[in-house]
């Protein structure tokens, strides 16, 4: 293809947007609606994931070691834990340190424990983090079976509830994705159905006059690209403004420890980039779909 | 130039449209194709520009064997023939100028050459002054002029027309026929299916009459030959 032909296709694709008037409008609207839904959903999902990640990060296993264990036993336990599957980090915390931490954590009330400094009732502890937080329960169960382990704590009950909440939230996310994809496909295929009649004649005539399939496809491809980008403008604007304000005004009101929104600054740009790419893909896909049927090959 | 050898065409629904047809058309000829409705004229024409493939037999146009051309190569083949239809087949969102220019853009001609040549043919068919109008802003006769301009813009050796005056009033039909005559005078072969008795009887040319998918008459300077 000659360069001026490529220029011609660009020119033609811009002209088509104007020539096809309301069809352009219908396609852009379909993309706009779809992307608005996708965008809202994306913001929800990414924040949810962020919060879930925050919560999960704090989950750890604490293995308390029996006082009967000597130094070598303790080292042996540490080695065994390190060699288990899915372990991210193992930290040894001697009982003196545990007590100091406890006293610090309790602040003024901590003084009550001061007398115990001579005769520490606490145990040496291994603090274990797993690579996947969901492995915590399995790892805890396994360590329970080791020698010289007095008890294993990982927030029993609380952790199970947390995980089932996170799983449900993620499943809802998947259901939403699927639902959304169907909506998008429905909207776009409907728009294509409307445009197809007009386009069928157009393509037939182009082939009569000697246009190859590639030649016919190019302006359609570019037109789809422009339609997709046009369709992403409103959703991007809407979501950026809404999220920016949500982050600015609503987020400071939430003081729950783990619940924290993704900072507006990089997040809005990321979502915008995703939406513009999605718009382009949807536009190109829709446009090429509408020609494909009539390009006899 | 154009040759059909033992051509048969059966449509998928079982209708036999062309039933054993042999014909030769030499360069520079002007040929009318006549016959009753449903005789197979349009099918005959469509096979010449490879819109339909024969069920059996062979068709040669400009030395190419049409049945063996792949679908994706059909547009390339069509660049060497001009086509004119009863319903004009203009791109509705393109101006008259753009419709004609499109046929040259497709073969990647220089923009200056396109501009010059398109205005030239629009002038030839007498519609230069309406170059910027859309088909919807033109009369039937004017639209057909644009379609003819498009069919000849790349100097094809053959122009094929299926009832080009079918939608036009008698006076406009004569004007359109004058353009076809002019094209033919310049050496282009013209094959035209028509129901227009007046024209066939007055502008005497070769007449091929088709009935039930067969050539029943082939005369050098023939008559239309059917009562209306
Ligand atoms: N696409 C098609 N599918 C099935 N049958 C067809 C098709 N096109 C034409 N036919 C049939 O083939 C026969 C010949 O049709 P054709 O259009 O060639 O006739 P024609 O001579 O051009 O008629 P007219 O003068 O009315 O235009 C007719 O019986 C018609 O019904
Ligand atoms: Mg016909």
Distances A39 to A24, A170, A267 between C-alpha atoms, Å:
22, 17, 12
pLDDT tens column, B125-151: 999 999 999 999 999 999 999 999 999
Supply the pLDDT for residue A251.
Answer: 77
Kindly state the tokens that stand for A219: 């302006």
How are beta strands B2-10 and B81-85 bridged, if at all? unpaired
Please give, one letter per residue, the 3-state secondary structure of A189-223. Answer: HHHHHHHHHHHHHHHHHHHHCCCCHHHHHHHHHHH
B15 Cβ under 8 Å from any chain A Cβ = no
Q: Which residues pair with B207 in a beta bridge?
A: B32, B219
What is the residue-averaged pLDDT of chain B? Answer: 94
Supply the pLDDT for residue A166.
Answer: 78
Q: What is the rounded distance in angstroms from the CA atom of residue B112 to the CA atom of residue B134?
A: 22
Which range, of A75-84, B26-35, B196-205, averages the lowest pLDDT?
A: A75-84
- Ligand 1 pocket mutation, candidates B40, B51, B52, B163, criterion most atoms within 8 A of CB: B40
- Ligand 1 pocket mutation, candidates B9, B11, B19, criterion most atoms within 8 A of CB: B11
Which range, of A13-22, A61-70, B38-47, B54-63, averages the lowest pLDDT?
A: A13-22
Reported as type and span, the H/E element at residue B5 is strand B2-10
- Identify the closest residue of chain A to B111 by CA–CA distance: A4
Q: What's the CA-to-centroid distance between B83 and ligand 2, angstroms?
A: 14
Supply the pLDDT for residue A258.
Answer: 64
Kindly state the tokens that stand for A81: 């834990």
CATH topology of domain A60-154: Alpha-Beta Plaits (3.30.70)
Shortest distance between the Cα of B225 and any Cα of chain A, in A, equals: 32
Place of tokens 């100028």: B97
**Which of A23, A210, A291 best probes binding to B when mutated, by most B CB atoms within 10 angstroms?**
A210
- Mean pLDDT calculated for residue range B176-202: 95
Q: What is the rounded distance in angstroms from the CA atom of residue A250 to the CA atom of residue A46?
A: 17
Supply the pLDDT for residue B228.
Answer: 56
Name the closest ligand to CA B209: 1
Supply the pLDDT for residue A50.
Answer: 83
Supply the pLDDT for residue B77.
Answer: 93
Q: What is the rounded distance in angstroms from the CA atom of residue A275 to the CA atom of residue A269?
A: 10
pTM of this prediction?
Answer: 0.76
Supply the pLDDT for residue A120.
Answer: 80
Supply the pLDDT for residue A38.
Answer: 84
- Mean pLDDT calculated for residue range B17-37: 96
Domain ranges of chain A: 3-55+162-294, 60-154
Supply the pLDDT for residue B58.
Answer: 97
The confidence band for B8, taking pLDDT boundaries of 50, 70 and 90, is very high
From chain B, the residues in CB contact with A205 under 8 A are 89-91
For chain B, what percent of residues have pLDDT higher than 90?
93
Q: What's the CA-to-centroid distance between B46 and ligand 2, angstroms?
A: 9
Q: What is the rounded distance in angstroms from the CA atom of residue A49 to the CA atom of residue A166?
A: 9
B50 Cβ under 8 Å from any chain A Cβ = no
Q: A67: Cβ–Cβ under 8 A, 6 or more apart, which residues?
A: A123
Q: What is the rounded distance in angstroms from the CA atom of residue B117 to the CA atom of residue B54?
A: 35
pLDDT along chain A (297 residues), means of 10: 89 86 84 87 84 80 88 87 88 86 77 76 88 84 87 82 81 79 72 72 88 89 91 95 90 72 88 92 84 75
């Amino acid at each position: 293809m000659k360069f001026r032909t490529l220029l011609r296709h660009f020119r033609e694709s811009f002209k088509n947007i104007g020539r096809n008037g309301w069809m352009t409008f219908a396609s852009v609207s379909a993309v706009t609606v779809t992307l608005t839904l996708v965008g809202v959903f994306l913001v929800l999902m990414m924040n949810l994931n962020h919060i879930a990640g925050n919560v999960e990060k704090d989950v750890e296993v604490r293995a308390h070691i029996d006082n009967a264990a000597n130094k070598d036993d303790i080292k042996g336990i540490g080695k065994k834990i390190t060699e288990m599957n899915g372990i991210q980090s193992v930290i040894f915390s001697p009982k003196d340190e545990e007590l100091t931490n406890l006293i610090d954590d309790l602040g003024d009330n901590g003084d009550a424990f001061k007398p115990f400094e001579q005769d520490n009732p606490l145990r040496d502890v291994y603090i274990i983090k797993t690579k996947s937080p969901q492995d915590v329960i399995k790892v805890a169960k396994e360590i329970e079976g080791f020698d010289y382990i007095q008890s294993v704590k990982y927030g029993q009950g609380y952790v199970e509830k947390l995980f089932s909440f996170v799983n449900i939230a993620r499943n809802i996310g998947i259901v939403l994705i699927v639902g959304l994809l169907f909506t998008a496909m429905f909207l776009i295929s409907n728009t294509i159905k409307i445009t197809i009649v007009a386009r069928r004649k157009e393509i037939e005539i182009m082939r009569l006059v000697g246009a190859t399939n590639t030649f016919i496809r190019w302006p359609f491809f570019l037109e789809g690209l422009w339609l997709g980008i046009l369709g992403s403008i409103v959703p991007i604007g809407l979501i950026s403004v809404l999220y920016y304000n949500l982050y600015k005004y609503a987020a400071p009101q939430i003081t729950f420890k783990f619940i924290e929104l993704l900072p507006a600054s990089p997040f809005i740009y990321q979502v915008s980039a995703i939406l513009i790419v999605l718009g382009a893909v949807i536009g190109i896909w829709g446009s090429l779909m509408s020609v494909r049927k009539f390009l006899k090959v | 130039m154009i040759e059909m050898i033992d051509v048969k065409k059966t449509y998928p629904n079982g209708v036999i449209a062309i039933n054993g047809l042999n014909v030769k058309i030499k360069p520079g000829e002007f040929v009318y194709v006549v016959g009753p409705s449903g005789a197979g004229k349009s099918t005959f024409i469509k096979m010449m520009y490879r819109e339909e493939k024969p069920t059996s037999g062979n068709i040669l146009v400009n030395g190419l064997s049409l049945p063996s051309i792949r679908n994706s190569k059909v547009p390339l083949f069509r660049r060497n023939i001009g086509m004119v239809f009863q319903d004009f087949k203009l791109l509705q969102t393109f101006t008259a100028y753009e419709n004609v220019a499109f046929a040259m853009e497709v073969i990647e001609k220089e923009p200056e050459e396109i501009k010059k040549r398109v205005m030239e043919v629009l002038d030839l068919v007498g519609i230069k002054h309406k170059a910027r109008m859309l088909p919807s802003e033109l009369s039937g006769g004017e639209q057909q002029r644009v379609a003819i301009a498009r069919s000849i813009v790349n100097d094809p050796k053959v122009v094929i027309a299926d009832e080009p005056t079918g939608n036009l009033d008698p006076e406009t039909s004569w004007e359109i026929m004058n353009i076809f005559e002019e094209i033919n005078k310049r050496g282009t072969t013209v094959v035209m299916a028509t129901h227009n008795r007046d024209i066939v009887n007055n502008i005497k040319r070769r007449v091929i009459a088709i009935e039930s998918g067969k050539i029943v008459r082939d005369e050098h300077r023939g008559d239309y030959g059917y009562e209306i």
